Chain A
Amino acid sequence: MPILSYLKALGRALGDEMARDDTVCVFGEDIGVAVSNVTTGLLKRYGPERVVDMPISEQAFTSFATGAALAGRRPVIEFQIPALLFLVFEQIANQAHKFSLMTGGQARVPVTYLLPGSGSRVGWAGQHSDHPYSLFAHVGVKTVVPATPSDAYGLLVSAIRDDDPVIMFAPSGALGVREDVDFTRLAPVPLGVGRVHRPGTDVTVVAVGHLVHDALAVADQLADTISVEVFDPRSLYPFDWAGLAASLQKTGRLVVIDDSNRSCGIGAEILATAAEQMRLIAAPKRVTRPDGAVLPFARKLDIALQPSREQLLTAVQEVAKSG
């Protein structure tokens, strides 16, 4: 079967949706020449009216997309840098997200915010290495973090077709992932439906985004001693609570690995909900960035603040033993 890379999957989803629906357009910085390698070829195919290179005015063009959506377009905005989301938090959380409720259902804002290369890209330091998906889940913006090329394709297609704002984080740690795929079987992946990458019976590991691949490696490493189920929520908001409950019904033990800061990260929400409502026979654990993490420049320091395979392995072993 042909190989699909994560970045090609994103570009393919954009191209397919632009071909299917002529209201779909792409906004972003340097997208004409595809600096992020996502929009390659789109300018040539669809022209500058649908592939719109934006000046460096993130706040204006984020709400510009909201206005265009209110007038019938389905814009996708590519942000090169995850920290730009702090700059446009007003425009997403306080504007686009609130229009449907505030207008009593008159308005819909079908905008997709695409973050290719979220999280640490070692060496990019304090203002280019954030992974703020938990912030958006917290305010209730539909939030997806695909781990694989086929999920990246399927979730981006669903995000574009969704009538609400959707934010998609494509972790830099997953951009190198390639997958054998039958292109004819690429399909939309619904929001709010998780995926069990590896079934197991002893411990459920919930892994977010690129950390799914770390979780699978750890599960392999522990295969002789602990049977690990790797659960990839794919969407953080809405979250597949029923899928998680089904997994915990089997295992009763939970570890979450999440590239958020610890306090109020999605890992905290997963543990809290599991503790309140699901079957747990041992105290759960989470592996996250530290509280208030700002990733330092030096390579070893950057890596030291990210959740690691070693931390996950230890956590799984401890949870397997306890209770």
Chain B
Amino acid sequence: MVDSAGLYRTVRLIRRFEQRAIELVGSGVIAGGIHPYLGEEAVAAGVCAALRDDDGITSTHRGHGHVLAKGADPARMLAELAGRTTGLNRGRGGSMHAADFSIGILGANAIVGAAAPIATGAAWAGRQAGTDRVVVTFFGDGAVSQGVLLESMNLAALWRVPVIFVCENNGFATTMRVEAAVAGTIPGRAAAFGIPASTVDGMDAEAVYAVASEAVARARAGDGPSFVECQTYRFDAHHTWEHKARPRYRTDEEVARGRERDPVDIQGARIPDGQRQRIDAEVEALLDEAVRFACAGPEPDPADALEYLYADGMRARPGVA
């Protein structure tokens, strides 16, 4: 059963979270900027709605949507972006490394394609441990020519690993158009390994949910990996740095055309106005509180800069003796 209101809540939450985060980049609360997920909300919402809490995901540099959709607390996520000890990663990871292992978020990863083998290994280990957990690895169109992703698909197919490869094709690898980067087709890569692949409208959360649910059911039943290409469009910058640098790789007209199909509007139109307004208000209240929580969180003590470097607590030598 599709939970239309639940999906709307998720896409709306991601949309408003990202807009708030961009404001906080502008005001300097978030250092270094972010890779906004605006326009791609339906992918994270649809895929994660098909998962259980104990299923896993790995995410990307453009990962806020995945992390929120998987159920991370927006307040702790925002505190992480602000580098506070109250953040998901105690301020040690930031935008590109957000993780919450308690709900299967095995980390966003800042190297394109690098999480795919991690997800595959985690999924394999879950099965070895006798569970029916599945793991989703998100990546962009820029990852589909990375060797390690293709190697991982080979391992996953060989051993029928319960992992789902979700490609968010937003048309650009930073500034490079997908047509300039990808020979053959994206789902064709999966076909080469005998992995069933589908292409879905990534602006439609319910369509994504339907395809993801099939892939999850297949993996959970022991029938192996699937590949889902979600065709989407990045509404905003590759990174907030673009707001100032303004590299010219697509025209304003093209962006305007891309924004015509808005995943938040598409999902919003599926529920009654009153319900939508209630959800909008609830999301605003949640994010108001999240911003307050993030800004109120303590900054880490510089003396603890190497804390957590080693899981066993080993301390590294300082840089001056």
Contacts and interface: CB of A to CB of B under 8 A. Distances in A.
Are chains A and B native binding partners rather than an unrelated pairing? yes
Interface of A: 25, 49, 55, 57, 59-73, 90-91, 94-95, 99-110, 140, 142, 162-164, 238, 273, 276-277
Given A63-B114, A107-B101, A55 B122 contact: no
Contacts of A238: 314
Given A68-B122, A106-B101, A60 B321 contact: no
B151 A60 contact: yes
A104 B151 contact: no
Interface string B81-111: 0000001111111000101110000110101
Given A67-B106, A67-B123, A68-B124, A95 B118 contact: yes
Nearest to B120: A64
Nearest to B92: A104
Contacts of B114: 63, 90-91, 94-95
Given A142-B310, A164-B311, 10 more contacts: A55-B158, A57-B151, A61-B117, A103-B101, A104-B88, A105-B90, A105-B307, A105-B308, A107-B99, A164-B314
B210 interface: no
A164 B312 contact: yes
Contact of A71 (B88, B129, B308): B129
A73 B119 contact: no
Nearest to B88: A104
A255 B92 CA distance: 40
Contacts of A72: 125, 129
Contact of A100 (B111, B120, B308): B308
B122 A67 contact: yes
Nearest to B159: A52
16 contacts: A25-B128, A57-B155, A60-B116, A63-B121, A64-B124, A67-B125, A68-B125, A70-B106, A71-B123, A72-B125, A73-B128, A90-B114, A102-B89, A103-B89, A140-B316, A238-B314
A101 B308 contact: yes
Contacts of B101: 70, 103, 106-107
Interface string B118-151: 1111111110110000010000000000011001
A55 B311 CA distance: 30
A3 to B, nearest CB: 34
Give the contact-size bracket for chain B. 35 or more
Contacts of B122: 67-68, 70-71
Contacts of A109: 311
A59 B93 contact: no
B117 A63 contact: yes
B121 A68 contact: yes
Nearest to A191: B314
Contacts of B307: 101, 105
Contacts of A70: 101, 106, 118, 121-122, 125
Contacts of A49: 128
Contacts of A66: 117-118, 121
Nearest to A27: B121
B125 A103 contact: no
A55 B99 contact: no
Contact of A60 (B56, B88, B152): B152
A142 B309 CA distance: 11
Nearest first, the 9 closest Cβ-Cβ pairs linking A and B are: A67-B121, A104-B90, A60-B151, A64-B121, A63-B117, A71-B125, A108-B311, A67-B122, A104-B89
Interface string B66-77: 000000000000
A142 B310 CA distance: 9
Contacts of B126: 71
A91 B109 CA distance: 12
B154 interface: yes
Contacts of B88: 104
A63 B306 CA distance: 23
Contacts of B111: 90, 94-95
A57 to B, nearest CB: 4
B211 to A, nearest CB: 24
Contact of B92 (A55, A64, A90, A101): A101
Given A59-B117, A67-B120, A140-B316, A104 B93 contact: yes
Contacts of A73: 125, 128
Nearest to B316: A140
B124 A104 contact: no
Contacts of A103: 89, 92-93, 97, 99, 101, 107, 308
Given A68-B122, A163-B311, A60 B99 contact: no
A72 B104 CA distance: 13
Given A71-B125, A73-B128, A60 B308 contact: no
